[in-house]
Each structure stands twice: as C-alpha cells, then as structure tokens.
Amino acid sequence: MRPLEDSPPRRSHAQLESWVEEFEKEEHCIAGSITVAPQEDGDTDDTGLVILRLRNASASIFMKPRSYDDPVWELTLTERPDDLVMTVHDIASLAAEYVIASNLCTFLQWKSLEWDRQSGRRAA
C-alpha cells in the first residue's frame, strides 16, 4: 500500500455528486450553484472537491475533507479582489448562502462518516 500522508480521504467524484444531488433533493433554497470538480492528488486519484458558487458575491466556497483519515470537512472562502458594498437585502441573502454552505458541508461530513462506518473504516 502506498503512503497516503497529507491527502484527503478517498471520496470518488461520482460518490460526491450523488451526495450533492441528495442534498439538493431535500429542497434547500440554493441561490448559487453546487458542482463537484475533479481534484487529483499526486498519484492521479480522483478525490473530488465540492464547490458552491455564490450568487450574491463574486466568490466561491470550496469544501473538502480536512486531511487523510480525518472525518471533519472544512470550507474555504475564495478571496475577493475588492471591497464588497451591499444593501441590507443583499447582505441577508449572502448570509443565507453561507448558512447553506455550512449545511452542505455538515451534510457531506455526516455522509462521509456514515460511508466510513458502513465500509468498516470507523466504528459506530
């Protein structure tokens, strides 16, 4: 077996897409768009990366497992090149998108733990 240090747990692109689809079917009010982009590590294994493109700001939120064999997922908010001036309604809409991103990341973390338990990687 080859070393897996500093690489995320293996969640296939297709598996992550099915989890995102399941999340979307739960009728979350998503203003932006969610995609799963291929992300390859040094050995060209498809590890997957979930991206929420925000509608109310020119930024995206990337979601992925924190590291190999770590069940915790993390979010990364992309950097903005300039200040963001918004109305009260716009900032409330952006805050709602952040809540959706948090809910999606929590859902993916839960699905990962569930998958690990079913596969025998983690105890119940």
Compute the average pLDDT of residues 73-101: 88
pLDDT digits (tens, 9 = 90+) for 57-75: 878 899 988 876 677 899 9
77 CA to centre of own chain? 11
Distance CA 60, CA 37 (A): 13
Which uninterrupted H or E stretch holds 113?
A: helix 88-119
- Cα atoms in the 13 Å half-sphere on the side-chain side of 1: 3
pLDDT above 80 for 45:
no
8 or 27: which leads in pLDDT = 27
Instruction: Please classify residue 16 by burial: count the beta carbons closer than 10 Å to its beta carbon, then call 0-12 exposed, 13-18 middle and 19+ buried.
Output: buried
The residues near 24 (Cβ < 8 Å, ≥ 6 apart) are: 30, 34
